[in-house]
Amino acid sequence: MWALLVVLFVCCIYLYLIKPNRRRAEAAFFAKQMYAHRGLHDDENGIPENSLPAFKHAMEKGYGVELDVHLTADNVPVVFHDENLLRMCGVDKNVREVTCQELKEYRLKNSEERIPLLAEVLELLGQTPILCEIKTYPNKNLAVCAAVADTLKKHNCSVCIESFNPLAVRYFKKHMPEIVRGQLSMDFSKSDAGISPLTKVLLQNLLFDFYAKPDFIAFQHTDKKCFSFSLCRKLYQPFCFAWTVISPAEAEMAKPYFDTVIFERYLP
């Protein structure tokens, strides 16, 4: 009898932990869009990822835009994916170690394009739906959240945020509750992300949802059968975003599980 009660108690706690925010109309708007991953980029034609031309191209095609935000050494939010500049700029420095002025010296993928400021992208895109991923390196540094929030308040734009870090998602719940927010996740057993095994288990299984209260779950579509994601989706019916879909065939396979897709390498 006691064993059964313990099992029931643990199950109730688990179901509480994975419960996201209630569905709200503001999130439904973003769940209807399709998002070009880092913009519609094309290296062969001099349009690198997370560049102003890539975002403009996506906007002109009628797509929403997915982008990534880091913080510079002087606390300016810039649109860039990697922690390090090496892959995109050929410079072995971390974004958080250089100033905004120093970043202006670098070019993206041998093009003439530079790393844009978040403010510049918001001005360009206007009311184009934007899916803004908050990058927090190291994990406990949430200064980027405050900088992004301050920037968003100065622009009339259509933005939702997402992050792998539930502390970042929680920040926006507390300080900008009107902003639609999402929890990013995946099967971390297949990832070499520099986080502890325990943290991987907690993040993969959405065990911070009770705290962050995301409006949507953005899950790697190839990991859609992960138990906690499947249960959360069926039980609480949150809006679900699939990342990153790279072909019409993958989009078709993701369709029964997700409300929308973040896509790359093809046009939906």
Q: Is residue 100 part of a domain?
A: yes
Q: Is residue 148 part of a domain?
A: yes
Task: Determine the 3-state secondary structure of 261 from DSSP.
Answer: strand
Tens-digit pLDDT profile for the chain (268 aa)?
777 788 899 899 999 999 999 999 999 999 999 999 999 999 988 999 999 999 999 999 999 999 999 999 999 999 999 999 999 999 999 999 999 999 999 999 989 999 999 999 999 999 999 999 999 865 557 899 999 999 999 999 999 999 999 999 999 999 999 999 999 999 998 777 778 899 999 999 999 999 999 999 999 999 999 999 999 999 999 999 999 999 999 999 999 999 999 999 999 9
Distance of alpha carbon 169 from alpha carbon 176, whole angstroms: 10
Domain of residue 228, residue span: 23-263
Is there a catalytic annotation at residue 37?
yes
The total domain count for the chain is: 1
* Ramachandran angles phi, psi of 255, nearest 5°: -55, -45
Distance of alpha carbon 35 from alpha carbon 262, whole angstroms: 5
Distance of alpha carbon 176 from alpha carbon 113, whole angstroms: 32
Handedness of CA 117, 120, 126, 128 (dihedral sign): negative
Q: Is residue 7 part of a domain?
A: no
pTM: 0.95
Q: Are 217 and 240 in contact (CB under 8 A)?
A: yes
The one catalytic residue among 41, 57, 70, 81: 81
CATH code of residue 131: 3.20.20.190
* C-alpha distances out from residue 149 to 16, 36, 87, 101, 121, Å: 29, 23, 28, 21, 15
First to last CA, the chain: 54
The tokens for 224 are: 């859609």
Q: Is residue 9 part of a domain?
A: no
Q: Is residue 12 part of a domain?
A: no
Q: Are 244 and 262 in contact (CB under 8 A)?
A: yes
Is there a catalytic annotation at residue 41?
no
